[in-house]
Amino acid sequence: METFDTLVEFQKAIVKVYNVEGLSSLRGMQVPPEYILNGKEILLWHNDVVRKARMKRGKEFDYLMNLDDLFFCSDTLAYNTAHLYLYLPHLNNPIEEGFKHYEFMVYPNYQNLFSKRYAMFADSTCQAAYNFWSRIADLIASFFPEVFGKRKIYFSNVLDFIPEEFHNSENYLWLKSFSEEEYMELNASRKGIVHTLTNDTVFKYAHLEASHDIEKMKDLLAQRDSLPEFYKRHIALTLVGFEKTLLFLEEVSTRLFADIAE
């Protein structure tokens, strides 16, 4: 019972961060969930958008499972970002703990528990954002199975293979611009974490290089401390991106499945 009460109080702290920072997800933060995005009921809207595609591609792609996974990825992104905000005020600060060693200043990294947890959630938050866009890519590709075939599908390349007749869509153009700018930055970070080094290790060795340089240390800490705002912005981008995706697929459905009655 004591553990249960502790978890309840911790969840209250997370909810407080949601409210203070204005974090959200596709389901919304209400209990029970509202599933409302810009005044549109997501479940009904999504069903309307994919109805014709499901009739054509239903045996090849499970639209409901994809939507459930998008909801879960969105929830995870918001939850992990809230943890970053929760730990941020309590991170150890090498500048504040600096001391003089002979003629030099030294800025040590006495990593505390909160900094370690922060680094852990920084990695998992990045992966949650990547997972969301991966599911968006799957959803878009499902409307064009003859184009993608057995090709591996990533958000970084899915829009490149969309037939040219759809390239003038404002919704397509938004998704394309995002994939070449904000998403590219996100994916570069994700690749580094997955294939090279975690955020914690990168910070550790960057700190060692900057341990005598106050200006480099300021830059390093500013970069570390900017992560909650970075992912807060990406939460907003996922919500806009989901809406742009459904609007784009509405346009696609109208053209590709004109033979199916409304």
pLDDT in tens, 170-185: 999 999 999 999 999 9
Report, as an integer, the average pLDDT of 137-158. Answer: 91
Q: Tell me how far apart the alpha carbons of residues 137 and 148 are, in angstroms, rounded to a whole number.
A: 11
What's the rounded Cα separation, in Å, for the pair 94 and 212? Answer: 11
The residue-averaged pLDDT of 141-147 equals 91
Q: Closest Cα partner for 248 from 154, 152, 178?
A: 178
pTM for the predicted model, two decimal places: 0.95
Q: Residue 71: enclosing H or E segment and its boundaries?
A: helix 63-87
What pLDDT is attached to residue 159? Answer: 96
Of 111-115, 192-196, 227-231, the poorest mean pLDDT is in 192-196
Structure token pair of residue 214: 């106050």
Helix axes 113-141, 227-256, angle to 10 degrees: 10
Query: What are the distances in angstroms from CA 140 to CA 29, 84, 108, 159, 236?
Result: 26, 31, 48, 8, 20
Q: What pLDDT score was predicted for residue 23?
A: 97
- Rounded mean pLDDT of the chain? 94
**b/e code 201-224 from CB counts within 10 Å (16+ = b):** ebbeebbeebbeeeeebeebbeeb
Reported as a pLDDT band with limits 50, 70 and 90, residue 95 is very high
CA distance 204 to 208: 6
Asked whether the predicted pLDDT for residue 193 surpasses 70, the reply is yes
DSSP 102: T
pLDDT of residue 37: 95
